Amino acid sequence: MIRLLTLRRISLLALLAAAAVVIPAASSSGDLAGSIAAGQGRVSQLKSAIQSETSQIQGFQGTVSTLQTRLSAIEQSVAVQEGLLASVRNQLTAARSRLVALRARYAHDRQVLAAELLADYESPPPSVVNVIVDAQGFNDLLTGLNDLKAIERQNSTATEQVNSARRAVAAEAVRLAQVEVRRTRATAAVVVERDEVAQLRLSIVNRELVVQRARDEQTGELTSLQKTLSREVSVLQQRAAAAAAASGASGGAAADQSNSSGGAPPSGGCINTPFVAHGGEFGFFQAPGTNYSVNEEPVIAARLDALGKALQLHLEGISGYRTPQHSVEVGGFADDPHTRGEASDTPGVEGVPESTLEQYCLTRPFPGPAEADHIQELGSPL
């Protein structure tokens, strides 16, 4: 009797020792799975933010391209207006210089005319009578008369030419001055428009740089986070394998103890009843905005819930049923399992071995860390 009690006591101590090893590991695995789930949520947020910022940058680039095209056209207009203005100013300068010269010539001619009038007063010019009287013959008479008329015509013509040229040049100077004012205004207006467009383009570029810097920072954070998640998933898988080995080594008594406490997968874990939301720390939890009501989604959620409770994992369903359009937007395909209501993206399940998933009629059909949280029903099409 004493020997029997001793053996039972030893068995009980061995069972408690095995439980002491497995329970902390499970608790630690649950914390790590929670960290992975939080990391997956942050990854989803970063991807969404990066996609939104990329769309903003593309919009900024389109606007900058449009403004640059407009700015180039305005620059050409400015060059044309400045060329016309320079031409008008050159013509105006030349006209003003010519007017100054004509005024000087007019003043000189007036001086000459005044001198001639004074000379005529002091010694009167020969009149027709004097020419006739002083003529030495008929030819001399005609020559004298012709010379007298020529002098009168020359003086009259020179005076009229100077006056006419002065009036024409003055009118041209006034016209060119008016043209210069109009050209100056037109050029100034085009320059103002060019400066406004250039300032607008600069402000768009500055906004694009701000968004691009934010996207670069988030891309760096996403890369670092993905590396961390990859390491944590590897650690969780190693712990799950060690826990499974420890559970097998603890013998049938430990298995009975686990079954009585609800810690191990129940026999025939292929639950076919729909998922019912609940509180608590472990099990399946549907993320806000997701749809787990289509086709096989409620059953998949129920099986994940049983798995999470058994392994003390916090499993968050971040993507169940998706429309074809939404599936393409988030990086999937228009006909992937999500669009048929046959899959769930569930951070926290990454470290669970495939053999354990199969006990709940679940499977991880796609290999690699990127798809470690993608879960489907066992035997469902890809």
- 231-278 pLDDT, tens per residue? 877 777 777 677 666 655 544 443 443 343 333 444 446 888 899 999
Kindly report, residue by residue over 204-228, the tens digit of the pLDDT: 889 989 988 998 998 888 888 888 8
Q: Which residue has the higher pLDDT, 252 or 140?
A: 140
- Using CA atoms, how far apart are residues 239 and 241, in angstroms rounded to an integer? 5
**Which residues, other chains included, contact 296 with Cβ-Cβ below 8 Å and sequence gap of 6+?**
341, 342, 377, 380
Quote the mean pLDDT of the chain.
76
The boundaries of every CATH 3.30.1380.10 domain in the chain are 265-382
Residue 261 pLDDT: 35
Report which of 312, 262, 314, 309 is spatially closest to residue 286, judged by C-alpha positions.
314
Helix (H) or strand (E) holding 65: helix 2-122
3-class secondary structure, 363: strand
- Using CA atoms, how far apart are residues 359 and 340, in angstroms rounded to an integer? 23
CATH of domain 65-218: 1.10.287
Amino acid at 255: A
Mean pLDDT value across residues 50-76: 86
**Which residues, other chains included, contact 98 with Cβ-Cβ below 8 Å and sequence gap of 6+?**
169
CATH 3.30.1380.10 for domain 265-382, yes or no, is yes
The boundaries of every CATH 1.10.287 domain in the chain are 65-218
Q: How confident is the model at residue 147 (pLDDT cuts 50, 70, 90)?
A: low
Least confident of 33-37, 315-319, 340-344: 33-37
Residue 344 pLDDT: 94
Q: Which range is most confident: 76-90, 157-171, 200-214, 260-274?
A: 200-214
CB 292 within 8 A of CB 286: yes
CB 359 within 8 A of CB 270: no
